[in-house]
Chain A
């Protein structure tokens, strides 16, 4: 009944708003609690999408006639989740991701069912869409792999040497720039000879370094590198990051962590060690931003249930269990992940003007019982639990049941035959 009243209200609001351009398609998610991520929660609000963008967010939004309406009453609305370093959902590298995109792949549907609407894979960020290959790429990720592993001190030295060359060149170039800007003869522009261009782009701030470090020793070494050569960085692993969270915060490092991983402290070490569920909380308290990656970065229906990419929110829920605030956990799988990928201007939150990647859950995203009911990608409905062969039968949506019963009644009604 409430639903009907609400829809009537909506339809009243619909009046007088003419869809000015008929070519546009509108989609409205009505009545749910909207977790905007960047601007708090709007209780019982409306998100109106026009074509592929979010047009309006708020409690009172006029909905144009002919808009597709998702009744999200009593549900929770979130931005689509972003999976960093996902594998096996879309294939290919770089621009080839678009050419090898299979929009009917099972893993796309399953990832959408897990709330993931965007993945990073093969140096490319792609939206997950069912049934269409149009505009699937969001853009490339400007990441440079840095191998700064503890097992090779020579390798570390090489990396530092390369950076040192780059820094020397940058100083030279800067002085040349200054001299020539003063109108003096500074000679030819210095050439970037023997300088690795990707390292140059790192120190110029045009790219992000991708590093791996789990142990405190490695993390501290990475911090040293970042202190000497400040650059944007993303550190994968970070299991003992809680022990040097302050230092990581000072070098502005960002991490990709797996909160559920657990390891006892080592008796052999006279320093803090071990992996803990409180890692995420400690990092957050020290201002270190992080994204979350489940134990497995692909979708797997075998092995340990609930540790693959389909249960990304569950992995984040373990961080909450370890003391992290819920909104921080939500940031970790939306806006903070988007920021690391350099796409936070388009994705990661429910804001006017952003791409309309939105999921609707029938409960709290971090509750094991919750299901994603709908996933909207680029303003189009791409997943509906009631149409999914895997999940439709589990706690089906109430109104759908009523609809079905009504349909059945109509079908079962005796046929009227004209008597000649």
Chain B
């Protein structure tokens, strides 16, 4: 047995060493491009990515391409490779809203409502992963993360039950909902601690009692007395061997996880005053949260930029230029956040829909034209949202050992004329524009 496992290890390691020589023709693919945005260090110019069995094996300027590999030589076409886009809080794939009240027991994946060609709709715009939000106000539920990859209609759900979504607003009902949620969670945790204490105490007493009885029995035995026989079923029931935590209500569970720092809250808000009121709730608290600002075209977020950056939270902004209130003065909140030191910035479609997705790159390009660093902008629509949903091992960078998931764009990512030429997930080409357009014509 040991020998055979050793043999397997040996052969497999040998196989790995000789990977280039393996006769798995067609399973290795090389992409040669003018520009590869790896998101893992600097962009590579005139470089090659070698994909084998869905994993990136080699990447760099000098890569030996095995003979059997299929080669896509896109040099000179202006094509650019980037990781696929990731949406951090899409809510256009669900059927129902849960408005008002604490509905945190719901999971977004349970209410998915997908059209037959939903994947193509996302691939067409370069999206490889979607975190779906439970739509609605209050505490509408928990986020789920889908990989836009499965062949069947149901998507491959990477995570069912991620962030707790909260909707924050400048009014008592929104604030009370959050405060009550925290209060109930703290009470539940306190209750559990108390229950464990009680259990330990009763367990200790029980053990002592048993020990006493045992000694008494032994003493009696030593004295030659007969041990009392206990009828079956008459035995005293002691406290359980292991501690059973009291049950936590469905609606409290997500809040309990949050207060225990086992879950992150994704809090949605609109204005500077929402932020101040959120900070008032979080004054002495240390729980994790990330903020989705779902403001309209006019915003007063510039008033609180310093405070937002100091909080260190991940900030998710709609990708659009904004107007300052009561004037038509333009403001680039994303650029201002970065200038103030925000290093965890996500840009999302300004309109939470496929149409918004179509306009995403064009609106990001406006932000770049008006002061946002293009490298930060690209990171904000690929790696940062992947990090936010904890899937940076699945998508977000082009690096050795990572699954081969990337988009090949026809040109500069932020050029509005650029289109997705090809989208590859785990080494498999899911979308090809030529093919897609010829099918449309047919």
Contacts and interface: CB of A to CB of B under 8 A. Distances in A.
A173 to B, nearest CB: 37
B273 A133 contact: yes
A101 B273 contact: yes
Interface string A357-390: 0000000000000000000000000000000010
Contacts of B273: 101-105, 133
A140 to B, nearest CB: 15
Contacts of A179: none
B280 interface: yes
A95 B325 CA distance: 27
B277 A106 contact: no
Contacts of A133: 273, 276-277, 280
Given A99-B172, A100-B170, A102-B170, A389 B326 contact: yes
B300 A99 contact: no
A106 B326 CA distance: 8
A92 to B, nearest CB: 7
Nearest to A131: B303
Contact of B171 (A96, A103, A131, A132): A96
A98 to B, nearest CB: 9
Q: Is the interface of A mostly helix, strand, loop or mixed?
A: loop
Interface string B313-327: 000000000000111
A95 B272 CA distance: 21
A104 B175 contact: no
Contact of B172 (A92, A131, A132): A92
Interface in B36-90: none
User: For the side of the interface on B, what is the size category?
Assistant: 10 to 19
Given A104-B271, A104-B272, A104-B273, A99 B326 contact: no
A92 B176 CA distance: 14
Contacts of B170: 99-102
A133 B277 CA distance: 7
Which among A96, A101, A102, A106 has the highest number of chain B CB atoms within 10 Å? Answer: A102
B171 A100 contact: yes
A106 B175 CA distance: 22
Which among A100, A132, A133, A389 has the highest number of chain B CB atoms within 10 Å? Answer: A100
Given A96-B172, A99-B170, A389-B326, A104 B303 contact: yes
User: For the side of the interface on A, what is the size category?
Assistant: 10 to 19
Contact of A106 (B176, B271, B272, B325): B325
B289 to A, nearest CB: 18
Contacts of A131: 303
Interface string A66-106: 00000000000000000000000000100110011111111
Contacts of B175: 99
Nearest to B300: A104
Given A96-B172, A132-B276, A133-B276, A102 B325 contact: no
Interface of A: 92, 95-96, 99-106, 131-133, 389
28 contacts: A92-B171, A92-B172, A96-B172, A99-B170, A99-B172, A99-B175, A99-B176, A100-B170, A100-B171, A100-B172, A101-B273, A101-B277, A102-B170, A102-B271, A103-B273, A103-B276, A104-B271, A104-B272, A104-B273, A104-B300, A104-B325, A105-B273, A106-B325, A131-B303, A132-B276, A133-B273, A133-B276, A389-B326
Interface of B: 170-172, 175-176, 271-273, 276-277, 280, 300, 303, 325-327
Query: What 6 A-B pairs have minimum CB-CB distances, sorted nearest first?
Result: A102-B273, A99-B172, A96-B172, A100-B171, A104-B300, A133-B276
